[in-house]
Structures are given as structure tokens and as C-alpha cells.
Chain A
Amino acid sequence: EVQLVESGGGLVKPGGSLRLSCAASGFTFSSSSMNWVRQAPGKGLEWVSFISPSSTFIDYADSLRGRFTISRDDAKNSLFLQMNSLEDEDTAVYYCVRDWGAARPQGVDHWGQGTLVTVSS
């Protein structure tokens, strides 16, 4: 069974940093593309970032490029999101999700339960 378990969320002040982690199991992580998708409270879904196997292809939502960095550790079956210069508008539940695309994002077939990031002074 595919499992994606996020951690690292919490309360952070504007301008601060946070690193999210996602532990993957139940599938061959190293062969899978992954995304981060976020959802602000009571709002819709927003794609954040994509990473392909071997980190060959990486991409970000334009509005987040330069502040967020996605990475993976295939030896530990883990996905990460480093978030810097956080703003109030970054407050959201962040989902770690598996993508069936190879070199570009296509769609999500498995979702984690999400981790809440709250940016507030």
C-alpha cells in the first residue's frame, strides 16, 4: 500500500524558514516523480513544485520560484521542501503527492494527509 507521511509543519514567523519532509513507502520511490501541492484554509489546491526521478527535472510555481526548494533522498525514500522567506500567504496544508509523469508533472495518483504550515507573527 502506498503511504506518504508528511512532517515538519508548524507555526513560523513571517520571514522565517521551514523544511517539510515526506516519508514514502509501499512503492519504488526512486522511480517515481513527486510533487508538493498546497491548500490554504478553506481554499482550492495550488501546485507548488515537481521533481522527477534522479532529480533530473525540477520545476516550481512561478510565484514561489526562488523561495522554495524541492529535493529528494532516494536512499531514505524521502521528499523535502525547503521554504524560505515565508509570507502570511504561504499558510496552508502542504501535501506530498506522487505523480505518474516521468519528465513533467501530469497528475496525482496518491496523496499524503498533509502537514499544516502557519505563517503568523
Chain B
Amino acid sequence: DIQMTQSPSSLSASVGDRVTITCQASQDISNYLNWYQQKPGKAPKLLIYDASNLDTGVPLRFSGSGSGTDFTFTISSLQPEDIGTYFCQQYEDLLSFGGGTNVEIK
């Protein structure tokens, strides 16, 4: 099984701040990584697929990078509507998710 380690588990930032979340895979997963956003009480939503591709309609302030075992998700300018939990997910071997990062506004 591939383990996904996501950090930090939570963060608090001000509106307009740059926010960075990292995700590390327990083995090489190439670029087989997706990122999701889950707002409180809602189902998750796909933001980025294949490590760096923005899904349709996703604001350009979201971005992703990385390959192999180390990946980064960035919000270039945090907005109030971005609060929620963000998950990475690998698909090199079936599916597994990171533990999530809870993003709050300071």
C-alpha cells in the first residue's frame, strides 16, 4: 500500500496570504496525484489532477506541482471561500488519500 503523508494537518492564514500544503508518497508515484477541497458539511471537489492540471472552473490562485514522491499544493492568495479541508490522493496503486489539511482564516 502507498501511504500519503500530508502536512501540515491544519493551518491558519490571513486573507491574501500564500498558503502551501505538502504531500509525500511512500514510494514513487510519478505524477499520479490529485488534490481535492472539502468544504464543511459538503462532499469533496476535485481541484487539481495529475499533480499540476487545474480542473475546469477552478480559480487560477490554486496550483499544484511535484512528481515522484514530493508534491506541493499552493493557494497564491487565500480567500475567505477557500476555508475547508484539502486532501491529496494518489492513483499509482489503487487509491489512497492523505490525512487532510484544515485551512482556516486567521
**What residues of chain A have their CB less than 8 Å away from a CB belonging to chain B?**
35, 37, 44-47, 50, 59, 61-62, 95, 101, 104-109, 111-114
**What residues of chain B have their CB less than 8 Å away from a CB belonging to chain A?**
1, 32, 34, 36, 43-46, 49, 55, 87, 89, 91, 94-100
Q: Are A46 and B97 in contact (CB under 8 A)?
A: yes
Q: Are A112 and B91 in contact (CB under 8 A)?
A: no
Task: Return B104 CB to nearest CB of chain A, in Å.
Answer: 15
Chain A residues closer than 8 Å to B94, beta-carbon distance: 47, 50, 59, 61, 104-105
Task: Return A102 CB to nearest CB of chain B, in Å.
Answer: 12
Task: Return B18 CB to nearest CB of chain A, in Å.
Answer: 24
Chain A residues closer than 8 Å to B36, beta-carbon distance: 45, 108
Q: Are B91 and A106 in contact (CB under 8 A)?
A: yes
Option from B32, B43, B55, B91 in Cβ contact (under 8 Å) with A111: B43
Option from B32, B34, B49, B97 in Cβ contact (under 8 Å) with A44: B97
A-B interface pairs (CB < 8 A), number: 51
Q: Given that A44-B99, A44-B100 are known contacts, is A105 also in contact with B44, CB under 8 Å in the complex?
A: no
With a 10 A CB-CB cut-off, give which of B1, B36, B43, B45 has the most chain A CB atoms: B43
Bound-state CA distance A59–B95 (Å) is 10
Determine the residue in chain B with the shortest Cβ distance to A45: B97
Chain B residues closer than 8 Å to A59, beta-carbon distance: 94
Q: Given that A62-B1, A107-B49 are known contacts, is A44 also in contact with B87, CB under 8 Å in the complex?
A: yes
Q: List 22 A-B contacts (CB under 8 A).
A: A35-B95, A44-B87, A44-B98, A44-B99, A44-B100, A45-B36, A45-B44, A45-B89, A45-B100, A47-B94, A47-B95, A105-B91, A105-B95, A107-B34, A107-B46, A107-B49, A107-B89, A107-B95, A108-B44, A109-B46, A109-B55, A111-B43
Task: Return A33 CB to nearest CB of chain B, in Å.
Answer: 11
Q: Are B97 and A108 in contact (CB under 8 A)?
A: no
With a 10 A CB-CB cut-off, give which of A50, A104, A108 has the most chain B CB atoms: A108
Bound-state CA distance A87–B86 (Å) is 28
Bound-state CA distance A104–B90 (Å) is 12
Determine the residue in chain A with the shortest Cβ distance to B42: A113
Determine the residue in chain A with the shortest Cβ distance to B32: A106
